[in-house]
Structure 1
Amino acid sequence: MISTYTALLRTPSAWRFLAPGLVARLPYAMLGLGIVLLVKDATGSYGMAGAVSAAMAVALAAVGPQTGRLADRYGQAAVLVPGALVHGAAVAALIVCAKSGAPTWTLFVTAIAAGASVPQIGSMVRARWVAKLQGQPLLPTAFAFESVTDEFTFVVGPVVATFLATGIDPGVGLAVEAVLTVVGSLAFAAQRSTAPARRAAAGDERHASALRVAGVRLLAAAFVCIGMVFGTVQVAITAFAEEAGQAGLAGALYAVFAGGSLIAGAVYGAVAWRRAAHTRLAAAFGMLALGTAPLFAVPSIGVMIPVALLVGLGLAPTLITGYTLVETLVPAAAKTEAFTWLTGAVGLGLALGSTLAGVATDEFGAGPAFVLTFAAAASGLAIVSLGRRLLTPTRGAAAGAVVDVTPVDAAPLALGR
């Protein structure tokens, strides 16, 4: 396993975009939880906190793919620089509004602006790996490495956000998020030599969206379910820790989920799998559903730790396989956009999950919110099991042509824009 990742990291110029990319991606895991903690402190309501966090995530889900499409066409730096600056300003405005007791609508407006301007660093890093390793055996390992990196951020980010919010002030966590996002994104954008070439497709491809591919729509629907797992856990684990009299442990417990996923992702990415990717995706969703089933009945923090670790073991394989599949389904001119559709789908699911979990938590406590976590995982399993035929790459996809362009409203399990 070590030799596999060592070979990957020896790719020329890889560290030039990996290092700043990590700085810029770390705050992503701080943003949603940071908003929950800030708004809960300002309003006293988990429902309001979940709703504001959801507004941010919906904006991210809606605008992110369009950002990816612009990056494919005009280059990554052209969208990263203004986006990062707007994001920093929007988060600052959100903090001021929450701390000053401004009207509730201002929290939603600033959160929406913050979500819409989140730099799509993860998708852009994956696009750079594709540009360097297209057709090479190390490309699936690169996707695994990126998922492990994502999980690392979800191990560190929530702990940092919770420590800053509970130990210093709820606004400090989001302030650090904004600074890291701006600094990391600008440094990443400066590495122009490692960026993929702009893809100005000709003819019918010029305005073709990656979402025209039926398999991309199905994966996006499944990734909404993954996002709901994240969103429900994010709110429910905060309430669970508070109910246990250990509110400061919320970030650490959330990090356990991500830690299990990090371990699973590192191992999963080093294995030369023989089974088809769509079969592995269904198996990963099955493991995720199995792990989330007992969450609602966990009686204490001591029991939650191993259960959370088990849930995490199903997360990274699901994400890795989904990103691996989508790369095989779309042409080169739409790869960044395709990755951002999946990232945006996770954000949309996070929004739905955090909203529903916030309402359930306010009314009934953490246990019922965890039932929603299991429902999300089981729904994802059903989606990929029923639609697996759409996840088989065609010869045209391998050649880089736009394929399987079923009209968006005619394909099953479509995810509308």
Structure 2
Amino acid sequence: MAARRPVDDTTPHGTTPHGTGYGALLRTPHAWTFLLPALVARLPYAMLSLGIVLLVHDTTGSYGLAGAVAAAAAVSQALVGPQTGRLADRHGQAAVLVPTVVVHACAVAALIVLAHSGAPDWTLFLAAAPAGAAVPQVGAMVRARWVHRLAERPALLNTAFAFESVTDEFTFVIGPMLATGTATLVNPSAGLAAEAALTLLGGLAFAARRDTAPAPTGPAAPGVRRASALASPGVRLLAVAFLGLGTVFGTLQVSITAFAEDAGSGGLSGLVYGLFATGSMVAGVLYGLVPWRSSARRRMVVCYALLVLGCSTLWAMPNLAALTVAGLFCGLAIAPTLITGFTLVETLVAAGAKTEAFTWLTGSIGLGLALGSTAAGQLIDRSGAPLGFTVALAGSGLGLVALVTMRRLLLAPAPAHRTVARGGAVREEAAPAARRG
């Protein structure tokens, strides 16, 4: 058997970085038929946690409870999301997406009713948990569709992941402003109502485009056990790194809201958070235009280190204007980190596990968001808004330590080969790939 050696390609599958522009990507046949409904379905992703915080704080007066309820939704999303991703790989995206968005809309409606009716605090968690669990994993499904559509043009994958991260950041620019705007102009429940409606309509429209989805792998053969995408050590390391990234999102959502409220400008919290996402979006656009020569593994460590540096200044900002500028610069490292992480994970798992692998990363962000919002909310209630930002520094710092110390796990192994003798002739052929789910 030939020796296996690590591969550290600059781009997926070792392709060259030529012809990777956004124009070439968007000319992919039928791309717009799934991108537009996906945008509508993904917009609420950035509205859910912030909408819960605004609603629960308005009805209870506690940032700690608001952060905890938002955390319940995020934790359930992080735990259940990868399972729905795995089901989508096996049975098709539409089969999973349609019931998911219906359950999500019903759970959000229940949360609104309970919050306004003065129901016991524990009932809010009972509604938030299924709302989070049923968040449609549209971002992961879109990335899986790009992998499927670009099978013959793998050089465009890095650009596709850059485009998707920019789209994510666009939703984080518009989503918080939409949530806070409707909550301020109408009432706190209006933001969550809009989130549920967009999720339902966009999710159903996206599910209808079955022609662009990857074919389901179907159930495993009798006696065959399919491994989870999480069986890959590299995927596990990226999940830990994205967990730290999620604490930044959760911390900033709660801490910026509290900081703006203390400054007497609560209505500006969505704008401040939106500018943080704008910095990320701009950086993502530029990042996707560069034909990188350095390895994705090295870029991941550098981008993550810049994120930690940006988080280190937030707690010391003296006023809302300074916080806005610091948040803008902190955001510059977000999209490049996301893009590089998704580029790496695509090389670490088999084709039949792409959606699940992407969902583990987005689920890790959701879990980190839960931890960040909970810890920040508790610190804010006890010590004030500025100390809430230290949670982002702690979470991202731990993620950087994991990346630096275990970065070798991000090397994708080369395909194994074996020597086969047939009819007196000896030849090498690819060894059977490990079964994956």
Q: Which TM-score bucket, shorter chain as reference? A: over 0.9
Tell me: CA distance 1:220–1:371, structure 2 relative to 1, closer, same or farther (3 Å): same
Which residue identity is paired with 2:63? Y
Tell me: CA distance 1:382–1:204, structure 2 relative to 1, closer, same or farther (3 Å): farther
Which residue in the other structure is 2:109 paired with?
92
Q: Does residue 384 of the first structure (1) align with residue 403 of the second (2)?
A: yes
Which residue identity is paired with 1:195? A
Tell me how far 1:2 sits from its aligned partner.
Answer: 12
Which residue identity is paired with 1:286? A
Tell me how far 1:258 sits from its aligned partner.
Answer: 0.4
Which residue identity is paired with 1:291? G
Q: Does residue 270 of the first structure (1) align with residue 302 of the second (2)?
A: no
Q: Return the alpha-carbon distance in structure 2 between the equivalents of residues 311 and 203 of structure 1.
A: 50
Q: Return the alpha-carbon distance in structure 2 between the equivalents of residues 203 and 8 of structure 1.
A: 40
Q: Return the alpha-carbon distance in structure 2 between the equivalents of residues 27 and 397 of structure 1.
A: 43
SS at 2:214 equivalent: coil
Q: Does residue 346 of the first structure (1) align with residue 365 of the second (2)?
A: yes
Pick from 161, 174, 178 the counterpart of residue 143 of structure 1.
161
Tell me how far 1:207 sits from its aligned partner.
Answer: 2.2
Q: Return the alpha-carbon distance in structure 2 between the equivalents of residues 290 and 130 of structure 1.
A: 33
SS at 2:79 equivalent: helix
Q: Does residue 132 of the first structure (1) align with residue 164 of the second (2)?
A: no
- Structure 2 alignment gaps of length 5 or more: 1-17, 418-429
Q: Return the alpha-carbon distance in structure 2 between the equivalents of residues 39 and 81 of structure 1.
A: 28
Given that residues 215 and 391 in structure 1 are in contact (C-alpha distance below 8 angstroms), is that contact kept between their aligned partners in structure 2? Answer: yes
Q: Is the helix fraction higher in 1 or 2?
A: 1
Q: Larger Rg: 1 or 2?
A: 2
Tell me how far 1:13 sits from its aligned partner.
Answer: 0.4
Given that residues 262 and 316 in structure 1 are in contact (C-alpha distance below 8 angstroms), is that contact kept between their aligned partners in structure 2? Answer: yes
Which residue identity is paired with 2:323? M
Which residue in the other structure is 1:198 paired with?
216
Q: Return the alpha-carbon distance in structure 1 between the equivalents of residues 221 and 398 of structure 2.
A: 38
Cα RMSD, aligned residues only: 1.9
Given that residues 227 and 435 in structure 2 are in contact (C-alpha distance below 8 angstroms), is that contact kept between their aligned partners in structure 1? Answer: no
Which residue in the other structure is 1:67 paired with?
84
Which residue in the other structure is 1:186 paired with?
204
Give per-residue Cα distances to partners, 1:345-401, cap 9 Å, x unaligned: 000000000000000000011111111111112111111111110001112399893
Which runs of 4 or more aligned residues in structure 1 lie more than 3 Å from their structure 2 counterparts after TM superposition?
A: 200-206, 396-405
Tell me how far 1:300 sits from its aligned partner.
Answer: 1.0
SS at 2:21 equivalent: helix
- Structure 1 alignment gaps of length 5 or more: 406-417
SS at 1:329 equivalent: coil
Q: Return the alpha-carbon distance in structure 1 between the equivalents of residues 435 and 224 of structure 2.
A: 10
Tell me how far 1:106 sits from its aligned partner.
Answer: 1.2
Pick from 382, 393, 401 the counterpart of residue 433 of structure 2.
401
Which residue in the other structure is 1:9 paired with?
26
The percent identity for this pair of structures is 61
Q: Does residue 154 of the first structure (1) align with residue 172 of the second (2)?
A: yes
Q: Return the alpha-carbon distance in structure 2 between the equivalents of residues 96 and 116 of structure 1.
A: 19
Which residue in the other structure is 2:194 paired with?
176
Give per-residue Cα distances to partners, 1:120-153, cap 9 Å, x unaligned: 0000000000001135211110000000000000
Q: Return the alpha-carbon distance in structure 1 between the equivalents of residues 221 and 336 of structure 2.
A: 36
TM-score (norm 2): 0.90
Given that residues 397 and 403 in structure 1 are in contact (C-alpha distance below 8 angstroms), is that contact kept between their aligned partners in structure 2? Answer: no
Q: Return the alpha-carbon distance in structure 2 between the equivalents of residues 379 and 182 of structure 1.
A: 36
Tell me: CA distance 1:3–1:323, structure 2 relative to 1, closer, same or farther (3 Å): closer
Tell me how far 1:199 sits from its aligned partner.
Answer: 1.5
TM-score (norm 1): 0.94
Given that residues 162 and 288 in structure 2 are in contact (C-alpha distance below 8 angstroms), is that contact kept between their aligned partners in structure 1? Answer: yes
